[in-house]
């Protein structure tokens, strides 16, 4: 696929000053950078974003871990000591002409440094100020660690996930951080559109908890309107607390098969040659009320044949089903390769890394960039030195 030139990206010409670290705030910055914004990452001298050393594996790439490279590619890095008057003055000068600022410190931390929303708005009334907290800016939880697994645990998601007899099950990803970062990016983009209409800046706030609650809006909306009944997770192949049989993942003789929607229980039973369910035909309510007995019979039959065999039987009959792929198999599919999702980025002139591109396509072109995550402070002199008071005096 064609790559959209920087000059044609919709946020080209906008400047984002990103004080955030770890995952949620930097993910928001990454989304804006891919859309064309200039993202300047502000880090502590000598230390930087703590995410530089938060290793997901033993993979070290040019002095930083793979997560830092993934979340901070396509950005600039400056170092500034917020206790140093010259560094503070340079940051104030930078924010004077910036379009967006991002931060994800615990409530009160950035305010004590003099870069809270009211402080920044005073020097730049048109600023779009994006903020992510763990659980909101007020209340009993406001000072608790805003960490992904803890937010999942407090949101009800761990309790909802898995089969009935499973212990609370976390997602295999930092889903609270990622969803909060995407929510903030969405809010910032809306505020930028609004500023183009009425000329006013805005404060955009979200939290890990809000993102996790929004993630569950489908099932929580049902819960809030059905007498607050607690959903019962399936004991067999649990996949969705509110959906009936056969919804779930079934083991085949050589792998796994995902089964979702079916025309009717009778059609499915006939196709996979199950006996003993005839008394349940014609009553869709039994797919919930008799969910586990039905799933048990389906599971006992599905395991007798290969995944490919079942797909050949079920897909032509409009049974919604799929093979379950690992990363290796998924990357080998024609669909994955056709979408051209991978890109190579270069750091220090010689270090080449495989990364994923933005999922957005714009006017038929991808938003790839070969610009790697910055080395700590590599852009400080170019970006901040001209803005420091002693530099201006020279």
Residues catalogued as catalytic: 177
- Taking the alpha carbons of 42, 189, 25, 112 in that order, is the dihedral positive or negative? positive
Describe the crossing of helices 208-215 and 217-225 by its angle, rounded to 10 degrees: 70
Q: Are 78 and 383 a contacting pair, CB within 8 Å?
A: yes
**Contacting residues for 197 by C-beta, under 8 A, at least 6 apart:** none
The upper half-sphere exposure of residue 42, i.e. CA atoms within 13 Å in the direction of its Cβ, equals: 23
- Find tokens 């198999």 and name the residue: 329
Beta strands in 154-288 (DSSP E): 202-207, 248-251, 256-259
Distances (CA, A) of 283 to 233, 259, 264, 310, 327: 21, 19, 9, 25, 39
**DSSP secondary structure code for residue 280 in this structure:** G
Q: Which residue is associated with the tokens 């930092």?
A: 174
Helices (H) then strands (E): counts for the chain: 18, 15
Q: Are 54 and 204 in contact (CB under 8 A)?
A: no
Report the half-sphere exposure of 53 (CA within 13 A, side-chain side): 6
**b/e for 46-66, b at 16 or more Cβ within 10 A?**
eebbebbeeeeeeeeeeebbb
Residues 6 or more apart from 284 whose CB is under 8 A from it? 244, 264
> Going along the chain, which residue ranges are E strands?
15-18, 38-43, 60-61, 64-65, 76-79, 100-103, 128-133, 202-207, 248-251, 256-259, 321-323, 342-347, 351-356, 361-362, 365-366
């Amino acid at each position: 696929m064609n790559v959209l030139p920087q000059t044609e990206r919709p946020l080209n010409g906008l400047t984002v000053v990103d004080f955030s670290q770890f995952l949620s705030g930097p993910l928001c910055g990454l989304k804006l950078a891919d859309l064309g914004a200039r993202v300047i990452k502000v880090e502590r001298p000598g230390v930087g974003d703590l995410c530089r050393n938060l290793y997901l594996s033993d993979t070290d790439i040019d002095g930083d871990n793979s997560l830092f490279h993934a979340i901070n590619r396509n950005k600039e890095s400056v170092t500034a000591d917020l206790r140093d008057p010259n560094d503070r003055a340079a940051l104030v000068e930078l924010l004077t002409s910036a379009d967006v600022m991002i931060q994800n410190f615990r409530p009160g931390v950035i305010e004590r440094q003099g870069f809270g929303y009211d402080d920044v708005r005073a020097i730049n009334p048109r600023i779009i100020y994006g903020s992510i907290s763990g659980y909101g800016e007020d209340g009993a939880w406001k000072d608790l660690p805003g960490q992904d697994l803890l937010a999942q645990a407090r949101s009800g998601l761990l309790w909802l996930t898995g089969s009935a007899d499973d212990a609370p099950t976390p997602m295999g990803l930092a889903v609270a951080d990622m969803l909060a970062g995407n929510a903030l990016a969405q809010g910032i983009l809306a505020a930028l559109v609004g500023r183009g209409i009425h000329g006013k800046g805005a404060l955009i706030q979200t939290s890990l908890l809000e993102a996790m609650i929004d993630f569950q809006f489908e099932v929580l909306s049902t819960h809030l309107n059905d007498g607050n009944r607690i959903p019962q997770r399936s004991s067999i192949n649990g996949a969705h607390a509110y959906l009936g049989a056969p919804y779930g993942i079934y083991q085949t003789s050589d792998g796994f098969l995902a089964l979702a929607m079916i025309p009717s229980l009778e059609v499915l039973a006939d196709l996979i040659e199950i006996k003993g369910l005839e008394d349940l035909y014609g009553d869709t309510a039994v797919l919930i009320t008799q969910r586990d007995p039905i799933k048990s019979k389906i599971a006992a039959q599905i395991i007798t044949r290969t995944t490919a065999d079942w797909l050949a039987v079920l897909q032509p009959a409009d049974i919604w089903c799929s093979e379950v792929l690992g990363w290796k198999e998924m990357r080998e599919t024609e669909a994955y390769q056709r979408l051209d999702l991978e890109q190579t980025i270069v750091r220090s002139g010689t270090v080449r890394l495989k990364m994923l591109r933005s999922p957005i396509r714009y006017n038929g072109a991808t938003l790839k960039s070969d610009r790697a995550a910055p080395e700590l402070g590599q852009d400080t002199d170019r970006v901040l030195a001209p803005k420091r008071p002693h530099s201006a005096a020279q």
